[in-house]
Amino acid sequence: MNAVLIRHTRIKAPLGLCYGRSDVPLAATFPEEAAAVQARLPWMPATVWTSPAKRCRLLAERLGAGAVKVDSRLAELDFGLWEGRRWDELHGSEVETWMRAPWTARPPGGETAGELLRRVDAFRKQLLMLEAGRTAVVTHAGVIRAWRSLAERRSLESVFAEQIEYGAVYEAT
């Protein structure tokens, strides 16, 4: 399978916003950023899989010469009640516990990083079995980190420490 992982382009939101699954708008530079992503692709994808988030779907539609398919397993980490709040507003023992161990701790009403990893693993295994052609996956930084953790057999913690830029393109294995 030939596949690439693509992070959505920049968003229009306040700096430091916890937005995970929130439907935040794209930056005004979306057309230029989408063209830059397309120029970095090694080939035109036959199939484009995407997160349900509008910021991913719009990019997927720009890149998709063929079918665009939505899969909820490609959604960003669910931050529950923290969604839409600024990180510097979040205080207390729940936040401290999550910051120390996001792999097992969960934001109120959200999911753990371990749960994110399991759903990405299920999608990845299915994709590796089903797709034989050129495939693009448009998603989020958290999903890309989880995928890379699985593919590279690295700890989720080490991969989560790495920066994933907006519009980044990675080879998927």
pLDDT in tens, 5-56: 999 999 999 999 999 999 999 999 999 999 999 999 999 998 999 999 999 9
Percent of the chain clearing pLDDT 90 (strictly above)? 82
pTM given for the model? 0.94
pLDDT in tens, 72-105: 999 999 999 999 999 999 999 999 999 888 889 9
How much is the pLDDT for 68?
Answer: 92
Tell me how many domains the chain contains: 1
Distances (CA, A) of 57 to 92, 105, 126, 153, 168: 35, 29, 20, 29, 16
In 3D space, the residue among 172, 167, 145 whose CA is nearest the CA of residue 59 turns out to be 167
Asked if the model's pLDDT at residue 2 lies above 80, the reply is: yes
What residues contact residue 98 under an 8 Å CB cut-off, 6+ apart? 105, 106, 107
As given in the structure block, the two tokens for residue 109 are 């009403």
How much is the pLDDT for 133?
Answer: 82
As given in the structure block, the two tokens for residue 96 are 């401290």
Asked if the model's pLDDT at residue 116 lies above 80, the reply is: yes
E-only strand ranges, the chain? 2-7, 17-18, 47-50, 67-70, 85-86, 134-139, 169-171
Domain that holds residue 34: 2-171
Evaluate whether 39 touches 169 at the Cβ level (below 8 Å): no
Which tops the pLDDT comparison, 157 or 45?
Answer: 45
What residues contact residue 117 under an 8 Å CB cut-off, 6+ apart? 146, 149, 150, 156
Domain with residue 152: its CATH number is: 3.40.50.1240
**136 pLDDT band (50/70/90 cuts)?**
very high
Which tops the pLDDT comparison, 64 or 117?
Answer: 117
In 3D space, the residue among 100, 131, 103, 135 whose CA is nearest the CA of residue 116 turns out to be 103
How much is the pLDDT for 156?
Answer: 83
Report the distance separating Cα 57 and Cα 70, nearest Å: 8
Asked if the model's pLDDT at residue 119 lies above 70, the reply is: yes
Evaluate whether 54 touches 8 at the Cβ level (below 8 Å): no
In 3D space, the residue among 34, 46, 107 whose CA is nearest the CA of residue 77 turns out to be 107
Percent of the chain clearing pLDDT 70 (strictly above)? 97
Report the distance separating Cα 155 and Cα 94, nearest Å: 23
Alpha helices in 16-140 (DSSP H): 30-40, 54-63, 93-100, 113-130
